[in-house]
Amino acid sequence: MGKKLLLLVLISIAGCKGISQEEKKETTTKEKEIAYAVTKTDAEWKAELTDMEYYVLRKAATENAFSSDLLENKEKGTYVCAACQTPLFRSENKFKSGTGWPSFDQEIEGNVAYDVDYKIGYARTEEHCATCGGHLGHVFNDGPSDTTGKRHCINGVALDFIPDVK
């Protein structure tokens, strides 16, 4: 009886599939098939965008800090996606963060999509254009506490600025 019980326990243990050693892979929305309203081939994006716009918007690169012409822009208007012209941010939501990239405390709702980015070894919230999927930057929880508390840290090269009509 004891040998049969021991044999039954061993078979039960061997038959169990442990998952503690399995590699867990976080799936991001970019790895899933997403159909954007504006979809182009890589060659079409390369032909339409400057080299820097292409690398930031299509390859998720980051421009150098303090290099954007839009960093010190104080005009009233709308910041749009440089790839597809979707309105993304309003000038009244822009603030000086001191980080070297244009920063906003909120987006134009529905025009910015979010994903998780692990490129530097920990999770960050990546922002991209909801219309064409172009990489914009990241959002952090260290923005102005008197508004949303968010800091949308955006690559200036990913944006075009359209001043308000006076």
Domain of residue 134, CATH code: 2.170.150.20
Q: What pLDDT is stored for residue 19 in this prediction?
A: 40
**pTM of the entire predicted model:** 0.79
Calculate mean pLDDT across residues 119-127.
88
| Residue 11, in any domain of the structure | no
Structure confidence at residue 27 (pLDDT):
41
Distance of CA 130 to the CA centre of its chain: 10
pLDDT > 90: percent of the chain: 72
Q: Is residue 110 part of a domain?
A: yes
Instruction: Indicate the SS3 state at residue 95.
Output: strand
Backbone phi, psi, residue 143, to 5°:
-85, -170
Rounded to an integer, what distance in angstroms lies between the CA atom of residue 106 and that of residue 28? 23
- Is 103 within the bounds of a domain? yes
> Does residue 29 form part of some domain?
no
Domain that holds residue 125: 37-163
Cβ atoms within 10 Å of 105's Cβ, excluding its own = 20
Would 76 be classed as within a structural domain? yes
Residues labelled catalytic: 153
Count structural domains, the chain. Answer: 1
pLDDT at 17 over 80: no
DSSP 8-state secondary structure symbol assigned to residue 107? -
Instruction: For 32-44, write each residue's pLDDT tens digit.
Output: 567 899 999 999 9
Residue 122 has pLDDT above 60, yes or no: yes
